Chain A
């Protein structure tokens, strides 16, 4: 069974204090790994898709990386508006169109 574990569950940073969120996964064959951002009371918002180990993608202060066992979401010099829950999901080869989500990391960036 596919498993996705995110850590930490919650993270509190000062504005400008860079850090990384972790997503560890167990899947029989990875077709894609997705990162989403979710604000309170809203639906998940797509950030990145990574397909193969060694791949990296960037968007503003966020950079996602992928290895064969885990993915990291690096946040450089975060701002309060980066506060949200970050969700990771995996898509398995032969798994139809099913995404398996982790439970998320709740990030709070303070002034």
Chain B
């Protein structure tokens, strides 16, 4: 079975540009999570969805970040405008149901110059 799929795997952009990260959860999973990982702060939850509905976005750093889940098999995390401090690895994870084990994708390594 395919795991969580993320694209792109690497993104280099300039400050002020829009960045869109994409995620396809494991088929049949009802919960989807977006995390950010940095050396300083470790893994932080940004937002999560249950049945395509955003449940908790308290980790989204500011209005420059937005996330959508238009259907059960696709989600996007958008940063507009991007800033150098957004440079990090962004992970998407999914779980079968609420409060079950989360399975992570390979991540998108973002560098904002």
| A, B assembled together | yes
- Interface residues, chain A, with chain B CB atoms under 8 Å away: 31-32, 34, 36, 41-46, 49, 87, 89, 91, 96-99, 101-104
Q: B50: nearest residue on chain A (CB-CB)?
A: A97
Q: A45: nearest residue on chain B (CB-CB)?
A: B104
A31 in contact with B42 (CB, 8 Å) = no
B34 lies within 8 A of chain A by Cβ: no
- Interface residues, chain B, with chain A CB atoms under 8 Å away: 4, 31, 33, 42-45, 48, 50, 55-56, 91, 93, 95, 98-99, 101-107
Question: B50 to chain A: which residues have CB within 8 Å?
Answer: 97
Question: A49 to chain B: which residues have CB within 8 Å?
Answer: 101
Q: B4: nearest residue on chain A (CB-CB)?
A: A43
Closest beta carbon of chain B to A50's beta carbon, Å: 12
Question: A42, A97, A98: which contacts B106 (Cβ < 8 A)?
Answer: A42
B103 in contact with A97 (CB, 8 Å) = no
